[in-house]
């Protein structure tokens, strides 16, 4: 627990404030563009039951993500409680929302929390999160690859601006590269080790770190890679049924995420075709994963406005964007942030 306090509190506070500030700017801009300053009166137009269902879908997504993590950790014979897995997921979600390029900001923290909080070996925790990330990325790409078939069958009239199109293509390319990197790492982790060792030998790093520190880091990395390799082999060779369960529940979790905007629109009385809503949501999540603002705060709101403008009339699009982001982004940021703060305080109280 004490090791958790080695993370810079000042940096976390600064990035959190920046993420919230960027989000506030985005929400204000959405309100201005959609003439939606009367947010409170418009939100009353929601059908309360559907608003509640969409909120519960988000909570169910959290629980399923935690359950998938619990499944993977159990493959290595670690008995980590569901509550701790949920805590690990939420803390990772918080960090992914306060770091630039939020598509991958939370995973290193999840590795750290698993290792330090649950006595999981560094290599094992790396393997657990890498495999969970691989499964999640595979599920997202699998759904994304269905889009061309849907376009061919339905031939929708869809006009997307050039900047949004560039963002979508960039997100797809970066996600595909991440997927390729994960496959290489899973098949041959020594390649990643070799790349990391070469990076450590760059003159820039030699000026920052002493030679003995670099040597110690390389030795530690080799041990982590070896542990990772053993953990990966154990997971894939002796627990095939559990792997299938992990993929299945990841698909269900992803489905909850994609159908949340459908339920929100129905709650506003908007009857746009659900396949178009789901496909638009897929495009948003793939393209926004690597926006350089903390967790995509601020800029994601603008992208949602651009992508969904054809499906939602004014001024309802403003209340839709704000509500969706509050449910799926800012509420997790708040929940994960409170858990992170709690761990800092608990660690401080145990420090002599």
Number of folded domains that form the chain: 1
Separation between Cα atoms, residue 264 and residue 90, nearest integer Å: 23
User: Averaged over 35-52, what is the pLDDT?
Assistant: 76
- 97's tokens: 């929302």
Does the residue 248 lie in any domain?
yes
- 141's tokens: 């790409």
Please determine, for residue 19, whether its predicted confidence score (pLDDT) is greater than 60. Answer: yes
- Residue 150 buriedness (CB in 10 A; 0-12 / 13-18 / 19+): middle
Q: Long-range CB contacts (< 8 A, 24+ apart) of 189-192? A: 189/225, 189/228, 189/229, 189/232, 190/225, 190/229, 192/225
Please determine, for residue 320, whether its predicted confidence score (pLDDT) is greater than 80. Answer: yes
Does the residue 277 lie in any domain?
yes
**φ and ψ at residue 195, rounded to 5 degrees:** -65, -45
Confidence of residue 35 (pLDDT cuts 50, 70, 90): low
Separation between Cα atoms, residue 54 and residue 47, nearest integer Å: 11
Could you tell me which residue, 275 or 246, shows the higher pLDDT? 246
Helix orientation angle between 274-288 and 299-308, rounded to the nearest 10 degrees: 150
Could you tell me which residue, 195 or 272, shows the higher pLDDT? 272
What are 276-319's pLDDT values in tens digits? 888 888 888 877 766 655 656 667 888 888 888 888 887 788 88
Does the residue 41 lie in any domain?
no
Please determine, for residue 102, whether its predicted confidence score (pLDDT) is greater than 60. Answer: no
Does the residue 38 lie in any domain?
no
Please determine, for residue 70, whether its predicted confidence score (pLDDT) is greater than 80. Answer: yes
DSSP-derived secondary structure letter, 19: H
Domain that holds residue 294: 2-33+46-350
Separation between Cα atoms, residue 231 and residue 122, nearest integer Å: 10
**pLDDT at position 89, please?**
93
User: Averaged over 87-95, what is the pLDDT?
Assistant: 91
3-state helix, strand, coil in the chain (%, to 5): 80, 0, 20
Does the residue 173 lie in any domain?
yes
**pLDDT at position 6, please?**
53
Does the residue 72 lie in any domain?
yes
Separation between Cα atoms, residue 202 and residue 213, nearest integer Å: 14
Separation between Cα atoms, residue 310 and residue 160, nearest integer Å: 10
Question: Per the confidence metrics, is the pTM higher than 0.95?
Answer: no
**pLDDT at position 332, please?**
92
Please determine, for residue 351, whether its predicted confidence score (pLDDT) is greater than 50. Answer: no
**Mean of per-residue pLDDT scores for the chain:** 77
What are 334-343's pLDDT values in tens digits? 999 899 888 7
- 194's tokens: 């070799």
**pLDDT at position 2, please?**
46
Separation between Cα atoms, residue 112 and residue 216, nearest integer Å: 19
**pLDDT at position 141, please?**
75
**pLDDT at position 249, please?**
95
Confidence of residue 69 (pLDDT cuts 50, 70, 90): very high
Helices and strands per DSSP (H, E), number in the chain: 16, 0
Does the residue 40 lie in any domain?
no
Identify whether the C-beta of residue 45 lies closer than 8 Å to the C-beta of residue 269.
yes
- Residue 233 buriedness (CB in 10 A; 0-12 / 13-18 / 19+): exposed
Closest CA to 93 of 121, 65, 70, 117: 65
**pLDDT at position 253, please?**
95
**pLDDT at position 84, please?**
93
CA 151 to chain centre: 27
- 70's tokens: 């619990």
Please determine, for residue 350, whether its predicted confidence score (pLDDT) is greater than 90. Answer: no
Report how far apart, in Å, the C-alpha atoms of 235 and of each of 84, 207, 263 are: 20, 40, 37
**pLDDT at position 50, please?**
92
Collect all residues with Cβ–Cβ distance below 8 Å to 93 and sequence separation of at least 6: 106, 332, 333, 336
**pLDDT at position 1, please?**
44
Does the residue 17 lie in any domain?
yes
Identify whether the C-beta of residue 327 lies closer than 8 Å to the C-beta of residue 54.
yes
Separation between Cα atoms, residue 91 and residue 107, nearest integer Å: 10
Could you tell me which residue, 186 or 29, shows the higher pLDDT? 29
Separation between Cα atoms, residue 327 and residue 57, nearest integer Å: 10
Task: Give the highest mean pLDDT range of 72-76, 103-107, 188-192.
Answer: 72-76
Report CA torsion sign: 122, 124, 128, 133. Answer: positive
User: Averaged over 239-267, what is the pLDDT?
Assistant: 90
């Amino acid at each position: 627990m004490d090791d958790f306090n080695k993370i810079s509190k000042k940096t976390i506070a600064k990035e959190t404030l920046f993420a919230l500030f960027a989000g506030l700017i985005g929400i204000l801009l959405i309100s201005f563009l959609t003439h939606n300053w009367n947010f409170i009166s418009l939100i009353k137009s929601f059908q309360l039951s559907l608003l509640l269902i969409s909120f519960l879908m988000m909570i169910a997504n959290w629980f399923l993500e935690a359950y998938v993590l619990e499944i993977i950790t159990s493959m290595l014979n670690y008995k980590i409680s569901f509550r701790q897995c949920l805590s690990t997921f939420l803390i990772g979600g918080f960090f992914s929302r306060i770091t630039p390029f939020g598509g991958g900001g939370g995973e290193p923290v999840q590795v750290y929390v698993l290792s330090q909080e649950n006595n999981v070996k560094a290599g094992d925790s790396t393997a657990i999160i890498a495999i969970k990330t691989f499964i999640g990325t595979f599920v997202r790409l699998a759904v994304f690859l269905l889009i061309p078939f849907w376009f061919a069958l339905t031939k929708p009239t869809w006009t997307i601006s050039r900047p949004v199109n560039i963002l979508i293509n960039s997100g797809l390319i970066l996600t595909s590269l991440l997927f390729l990197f994960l496959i290489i790492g899973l098949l041959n982790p020594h390649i990643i080790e070799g790349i990391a060792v070469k990076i450590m030998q760059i003159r820039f790093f030699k000026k920052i770190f002493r030679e003995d520190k670099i040597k110690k880091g390389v030795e530690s990395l080799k041990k982590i890679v070896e542990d990772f390799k053993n953990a990966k082999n154990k997971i894939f060779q002796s627990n095939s049924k559990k792997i299938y369960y992990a993929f299945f529940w990841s698909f269900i979790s992803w489905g909850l995420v994609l159908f949340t905007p459908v339920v929100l629109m129905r709650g506003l009385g908007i009857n746009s075709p659900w396949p178009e809503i789901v496909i638009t949501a897929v495009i948003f999540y793939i393209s926004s994963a690597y926006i350089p603002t903390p967790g995509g705060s601020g800029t994601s709101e603008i992208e949602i406005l651009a992508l969904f403008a054809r499906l939602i009339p004014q001024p309802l699009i403003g209340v839709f964007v704000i509500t969706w982001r509050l449910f799926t982004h800012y509420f997790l940021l708040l929940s994960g942030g409170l858990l992170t703060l709690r761990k800092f305080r608990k660690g401080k109280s145990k420090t002599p």
